[in-house]
Structure 1
């Protein structure tokens, strides 16, 4: 019994201990559960905070990407603006070296940014202008923030020469720039516009003081302009007829008929017209007549006839002289002699040619008293131009054409600085056609001229040659080189089917001692010799090759003697001109 009781008591104690332990564990479990619940709540709170933070980060990233995209677009816009800007922005450091240039340089000058930084910036502006730029930098260094302006010529990548204006600011003190800031603009067009405006002003002044009658009339017959001389022919002051229609003004019938004819013909065919009209004039108690040569010139605006310029030149005196000349046919020879003196005075003096080319000669032998062949010489700042010119015919016709050629060549060379030999020939070709009215339908003349045109550059060992049916012979170190020129004359009629090609400009390097010879066809075409043949170009080459050691004076004497001997008893067929030059 006691054993059983003891076991019962023992089991009871054990159960009691187990219950106590279980309660303790349950209490710990409940506490742990509560703590876990708290921790879970904290974790959930942290998770919510992390989600919120992640959302904020995502929004921030989106905003950042938007800002970056906006900055990229702004940078692209800035680059496009700089690339297509009308000016070039550049920066030079304190040593005068280019460190930055805006992309617009490609569109304005044709060079890339790298080409400019590599040296094209100063190379293509010229040595003197580069020196001026360097001196400007030196002056500006002394005054921070100071600005100076500079204008200079620049050669684009295409080879075209333009004018640039540059504003230079000293920004060496600026931490962002640390150099000279340059803003450069192409002013070529503005200079051209200013020049045109000056020319228009001069033309107006010339018109106001001209002795020619000048009217500008609209296509509908309204007089926009009349110069003062109009009053002498119409008895109407310019102020009383301007901005009025022709139908409102009681002009004399002859003058009214003239203007009506011009308007009606221009309405049908707006091309330049030339008319002559005889106007009755009242001079006090006397009645007389004046003859006007009238040019009617259409003026267009966007291919539509806008106005007609009417220029009337008083040729009464010219007509009177023309009649007198017809009466004085018996004095033709005297006139020819006088013309010879005039031609001699106008043609370049041989001494002027020899001053430019000390080792040179001109073998000039007209067939008649006056000549259609002539030597031409013109000096410019950088070049000597010299040509052997052969006008159509000889005698009086050739001499008259020679004066046309001489004056046109002088004018073209004076007005076109640095014109090449080829371009000069081409422009002369067009001007001769205009002067002889060969650019019109049914021209009355086919006359023109052949020539060998040479341009010797003063500062370079090179010469330019262009030939109109005439060659150039170069004798250098005993060898002959022949430059044949173009198969094309100066002036004359256009070929109806064959398109014209501009004259070729040939550059020929010059070495000391080189001898150049060019001549008109009067030399090779002269008949004579033992068998009555032409002198020929081959004989000229033969003389040069057989006597390479001759000096220029020796060649001069040899050709004179050889030509005279060759001609013998034959008559001279044409004017002759041979020019020799040693450089």
Structure 2
């Protein structure tokens, strides 16, 4: 249960929500400038993934105000201009999570997804003894959920959306099918109890018909509650949840500070010295991120082990206490029997000697058992003391784990901001192109994809170098590769003024091999790159020089989508065939478009494990090529969400579109 609580806490601050919130803030800022001078109104709707309105969703703008959606899913937020522009947007609705924001003709559209529910259950063997380490399977049409009971028979499993438990539901315990006659389900608490017994009169299975059976049912229920209360770790979990809420609040404040640093980097008047200093600080933090992530994984595993150990110790203590109580009752019964023998001896004086002998025999036996019980009691007290000491040690370890979790979580969030800060800002695209879009969707919080751009003004005119790069792996390893690639491109183009695309990739290839010591070590990590240098002419035409490392370049000209294939050689890795990179030339007119991309979009699978495919992607680009690039981006997003609904993102996704 502790592991589940930790996962839920982490998922709350997912990267998707951070990115979509950033785009929503930009939209609200632009929209607010067109309303009345004194008060402004923001209108929108909240719907689920099927398009049905969601009522009671609280839309919160911390520095502006909040609104609640009605039965039609609509909401409005009216605020005074003096409060400033919207900064942040939060959406709250129990049982739902945010998927996306979008601006349409009817205002701000917010899409929510209904969360899976958690089923809690307990499995008993005969005589209501909890069954530990049992495999529990819940089967239904086209789905199957499997989990395992803990030391006291408890289990938890996620219920898919739209699925419910009925009397016809089927559970399988250790390979044995259990139907509705052997389990009871409480829909209010979403709890199920299963008893592996052929006796259908068991009080957990059906209502009693006699007063004797009713009394037995109440006693079994009372004993079950006592067992659960003694081994319940809810208080420990609640404490951890409270601490994690505090960590989340601290993470929010830290991200706000990081956004200020990112804003400083995006200022047009920032000096090269300041920019270099800030980037060195970001690179130092990126190195710290790897260490913190390793510590986070170790802390997570240690937390699960410690909680399992606590449950086992507490259950062992409960079993020993029960055995001790049974011993006491046995001694009391034997004492009554001894008093009966004494009474018989008084009545039957003739058998006095025999009775005395019997009494002495039983007296010695009782004394011996009493001595044994006292020793057992002493051992129990010793065990109790040892348990309390171990619990204190575990609590101290939990505090250390919590502190490490805080540092690791903060570092991951910070690394996310670091990577976003090194990406080219929109103003650089606007200097070079009539229109553009960037579709950038990392699989994890940090990405192995990145895009790079540089504008240079020479005696021959403006030259713009544009690249889309797919590094080996994703997440933190891929992010480190992207940092290496970004640094090398800055050195080659911005410092050494190399604009020939074949030379750029050759230098990048050599730099990666040197940075990763691939001549001395057996690793093939590297990059696939699509890069082009655009020479802008005075007659509004452009000469494009292209080189690809296993990536093509697509362009739309004369009403057709066409392509240039890249070389079959990657950046980095061991050179089996030392082939040089080649350049290809392309001449474009005003209004023609270029598309640079990685393979993440075309490789995304749907629920049937079918990829989106390169052919389908190119058909979609050609179909929408005459639309504005912002509309093209929205069409790509819509098609991707429809295709991948119900599945996890497979890889980082990057697509750049620019218009000459």
TM-score interval (norm. to shorter):
0.3 to 0.5
Structure whose CA Rg is larger = 1
TM-score by length of 1: 0.42
- Normalising by structure 2, we get a TM-score of 0.37
